[in-house]
Amino acid sequence: MKELTELKLKVLDLLNEDARRSPLLLATLIGVEEEAVKEAIAELEADHVIVKYAAVVNWSKIEEETVTALIEVQITPERGRGFEGIAERIYLYPQVKSVYLMSGAYDLLVEVEGRNLREVANFVSEKLSPIDSVLSTKTNFILKKYKQDGIIFEDREEDNRLMVSP
């Protein structure tokens, strides 16, 4: 694990809040030179600490609704490689949105997205379950997302402060 400078941590925090902030704005907020921020960002990108700048989308807001399932997968680890090889075989599918190695009752948590229920079910029965070392799967469909990555999708808290107060 790389030790990050205080500046880099501040940059990451502020970009995590809003990835569109310019280096100049970040520099002003933190109280350093713009050049220092640019340098920090370049290093963070080069080190793949910043992996990507993406929008957080609430897909349920638009017509084209998709279904997402969290699939609990039990696996026999491979000799010498553990879970790495199987995880890779699974995460390379584009419909797989995330893969986590878990402690507890199962080994991998796989997030799969499809246009409908059948598509996800087919993926499980035709792609995931047939993998030799996969012992069992348990598919949980997501019904509604309330909060993701620290962001509340439908924030009910509003600014109800008076316009002017002493």
Residues forming contacts to other proteins in the complex (CB under 8 A) are 14, 18, 21, 25, 28-31, 157, 159, 161-166
Q: Which is nearer to other proteins, 103 or 165 (CB)?
A: 165
Label the pairing between strands 96-101 and 151-152: unpaired
* Neighbour-count burial for 78-99, b at 16+ CB within 10 Å, e otherwise: eeeeebeebbeebeeeeebeeb
Q: Which is nearer to other proteins, 63 or 157 (CB)?
A: 157
Provide the CA 32 distance to its chain's centre, in angstroms. 30
* Neighbour-count burial for 28-48, b at 16+ CB within 10 Å, e otherwise: eebeeeeebbbebbebbeeee
- For the bound state, the minimum distance from the C-beta of residue 161 to other proteins, rounded and expressed in Å, comes to 5
- For the bound state, the minimum distance from the C-beta of residue 126 to other proteins, rounded and expressed in Å, comes to 44
- For the bound state, the minimum distance from the C-beta of residue 19 to other proteins, rounded and expressed in Å, comes to 13
Q: Which is nearer to other proteins, 32 or 70 (CB)?
A: 32
- For the bound state, the minimum distance from the C-beta of residue 52 to other proteins, rounded and expressed in Å, comes to 22
Q: How far apart are CA 144 and CA 108, in angstroms?
A: 22
Length of the chain in terms of residues written: 166
Q: Which is nearer to other proteins, 28 or 136 (CB)?
A: 28
